[in-house]
Amino acid sequence: MPGATIVHAAAFAVGALVGGGVVSAVSARRQRHQIPVASVPATAPIISPPVVDVTPGGVTQISPQAATPVSVLKYGNPGPISDQLVRIAYAAGYDRRLRHPAWAAEHLTLASLGKSALASASSDEKGDRQNSHFTEDQSIPAMFRAKLQDYFRSGYDRGHMVPAADCKLSQAAMNETFLLTNIAPQVGVGFNRHYWAYVEDWCRRLTSTFADVYVFTIPLYLPKLDSDGKWRITHEVIGSPPNVSVPTHFAKVVLTAKPSSPSTPDVPEISTGAFVLPNAVIPDEAKLESFVVPIEAVEKAAGLTLFSDAIKKNSKHICKTTKCEVTVRKFDDAQKNAQRKAITGPR
């Protein structure tokens, strides 16, 4: 498909996301077939905390998710379960049904990227991706686990949700990015190895302007308007038997913080922004700002609460506080030979 067509298709899909396509996917007809559930007393609402919030002292943090047991589940809770994975350099929620992360979150600073003169790792401590290998995550039950075999000759790259390049501070941290619980199927040439890599690089470069950079990567499944006028979500499933779902889109959501002024270093200036990209070939000349969407649109499509309402209301848009421009770099230059580009069989 021509590059321009892909960009227009992406814009159309994002327009559907913002303008009600997601709502259309959950139509009134489906509501008539919903199974009745016991009502929750109005006096005790269960409110999920935002994934990231800012404390009164101005410190950004990831909030823990709490589960409330009920007596009807005395003999077991069927789920759904989002495995909360806490790694050295990132945190993530794993989707057992789709066999890839539901979301992945990281906190980038100059120090975490090994670029701070005050806190830099020695060359012996730094991670080298040549020493890392894709690995099945044994912490996930076997029946819900993504397998190496699923990606073999699938036509898709094993796409990092948290990039290996963000975790060079130690080999252990880098190795954790190669667990399949941090991986989702991505189109290789034109996306994972190119435009998506440019966006990841842009996120890292934000640390030169902001003291703290929080990055959320979220696989999405967005509806598409078919020729019969109906909205549908269709996606591929890779593996034999079919096991790992292939997202239609991926979102990058960023929150940055820096002192609001030299006189008030403890009061952070917060900027936020969300970008939704199709899992498809994107031409290098595509503008990053063409993929901007409201944060609420990503939250609604993913079923997540990323930031509190106060943050979303009071923060500046990231494209107003810094340039939203990618730098075109051939990140796969070192991988031009077919042996490196091809996905090898399971070890």
Place 26 in a pLDDT band, splitting at 50, 70 and 90.
Answer: very low
265 located within any domain: yes
Place 68 in a pLDDT band, splitting at 50, 70 and 90.
Answer: low
Domain that holds residue 110: 81-213+228-341
316 located within any domain: yes
Question: What integer is the mean pLDDT of 163-170?
Answer: 95
Share of the chain above pLDDT 70, in %: 72
> Within 13 A of 322's CA, how many CA atoms are on the CB side?
24
pLDDT recorded at residue 263: 85
List, in order, residues 6 or more apart from 102 with CB less than 8 Å away.
82, 92, 93, 94, 95, 218, 219, 302, 304
Distance (Å, rounded) from C-alpha 197 to C-alpha 330? 9
303 located within any domain: yes
* From 33, 100, 107, 160, active-site residue: 160
> Within 13 A of 137's CA, how many CA atoms are on the CB side?
27
Distance (Å, rounded) from C-alpha 202 to C-alpha 257? 16
Written as six digits, the tokens of 313 are: 């209301």
- Other beta carbons less than 10 A from residue 58's beta carbon: 15
Identify which has the larger pLDDT, 343 or 230. Answer: 230
Question: What integer is the mean pLDDT of 254-271?
Answer: 92
- What does the CA dihedral 161, 205, 133, 218 come to, rounded to 10 degrees? 0
List, in order, residues 6 or more apart from 311 with CB less than 8 Å away.
50, 52, 53, 54, 255, 270, 272
Backbone angles phi, psi at 299, to 5 degrees: -60, -45
Of 116-130, 259-273, 327-341, which has the strongest mean pLDDT? 259-273
69 located within any domain: no
- Could you confirm whether 160 is annotated as catalytic? yes
pLDDT recorded at residue 123: 53
40 located within any domain: no
pTM of the model: 0.77
- Other beta carbons less than 10 A from residue 18's beta carbon: 17
Helix (H, G, I), strand (E, B) or coil at 338: helix
Distance (Å, rounded) from C-alpha 325 to C-alpha 93? 29
Domain with 201 in it: what CATH number? 3.40.570.10
- Encode pLDDT of 219-241 as tens digits: 999 999 999 999 999 999 999 99
109 located within any domain: yes
pLDDT recorded at residue 304: 96
pLDDT recorded at residue 76: 84
pLDDT at 24 over 50: no
Helix (H, G, I), strand (E, B) or coil at 128: coil
- Other beta carbons less than 10 A from residue 34's beta carbon: 8
> What's the sign of the alpha-carbon dihedral 115, 119, 123, 129?
negative
pLDDT at 173 over 70: yes
Backbone angles phi, psi at 42, to 5 degrees: -65, -20
pLDDT recorded at residue 126: 85
- Encode pLDDT of 75-133 as tens digits: 888 877 779 999 999 999 999 999 999 999 999 999 999 887 665 545 557 889 999 99
Place 347 in a pLDDT band, splitting at 50, 70 and 90.
Answer: very low
25 located within any domain: no
pLDDT recorded at residue 47: 57
Share of the chain above pLDDT 90, in %: 64
Q: How many domains does the chain have?
A: 1
Compute the C-alpha angle 222/227/228, nearest 5°.
100
For residue 258, give the nearest of 208, 307, 217, 306 by alpha carbon.
208
Using CA atoms, how far residue 61 sits from 52, 214, 321, in Å, is: 6, 9, 22
For residue 192, give the nearest of 253, 259, 263, 246 by alpha carbon.
246
pLDDT at 139 over 60: yes
39 located within any domain: no
- Mean of the per-residue pLDDT values for the chain? 83
> What's the sign of the alpha-carbon dihedral 32, 35, 41, 46?
negative
